[in-house]
Amino acid sequence: MNADSGAISAGRLLVRAVTFASGSIGAQTREFAQTLKSISTYLAEIAEALRLGDSPLKLFALLRAKTITFIIVAREVVPEQTAREIALHLVSSTRVANQSNAVVAAACDFEKASNLFKSVSELFRQ
């Protein structure tokens, strides 16, 4: 994986989308923040599993399932197309990481993405 991995791209896109949409944030912020926190947790757990040499397949499945919730909840905060693009990046990153021999780089990418999702989540919890 590289600096433009799917997970990192998703995190950066999320940060940009939320920055531009900050004035139109509605009542769904608590659920949105919780969804982002869950995604952040899955990304961090995937990074840890990759570092330990464990199979993250179950975590990949959980992350993919959570992207459906993300699309539904995020459209209250960011444009629906942007939410779908973020979800697509997340899902594609699980496919690439599953086939990658560069486990350490993939783990770093998931960890960076986790931090991006966590920081946005914390913005909505304040």
Number of separate domains in the chain: 1
Asked if the structure places residue 4 within a domain, the reply is: no
CA dist., res. 84 & res. 80, Å (int): 6
Query: Among 18-22, 28-32, 111-115, 122-126, where is mean pLDDT lowest?
Result: 18-22
Asked if the structure places residue 18 within a domain, the reply is: no
Asked if the structure places residue 98 within a domain, the reply is: yes
**Residue 91 is encoded by which pair of tokens?**
């899902």
Asked if the structure places residue 23 within a domain, the reply is: no
Asked if the structure places residue 70 within a domain, the reply is: yes
* Residue-level pLDDT at 47: 93
Asked if the structure places residue 8 within a domain, the reply is: no
pLDDT band at 2 (very low <50, low <70, confident <90, very high): very low
**Residue linked to tokens 């960011």:** 78
Domain limits for position 61: 28-125
* 3 state DSSP class of 1: coil
Asked if the structure places residue 119 within a domain, the reply is: yes
pLDDT band at 28 (very low <50, low <70, confident <90, very high): low
Cβ neighbours around 114 below 10 Å, total: 22
Among candidate residues 116, 95, 126, the one with its CA nearest the CA of residue 18: 116
Asked if the structure places residue 85 within a domain, the reply is: yes
Task: Summarize the confidence of residues 16-36 as an average pLDDT.
Answer: 75
CA dist., res. 6 & res. 110, Å (int): 9
Q: In the 8-state DSSP scheme, what is residue 24? A: G
* Residue-level pLDDT at 1: 42
CA dist., res. 97 & res. 71, Å (int): 22
Q: What is the mean pLDDT of the chain?
A: 85
**Residue linked to tokens 């999320």:** 14
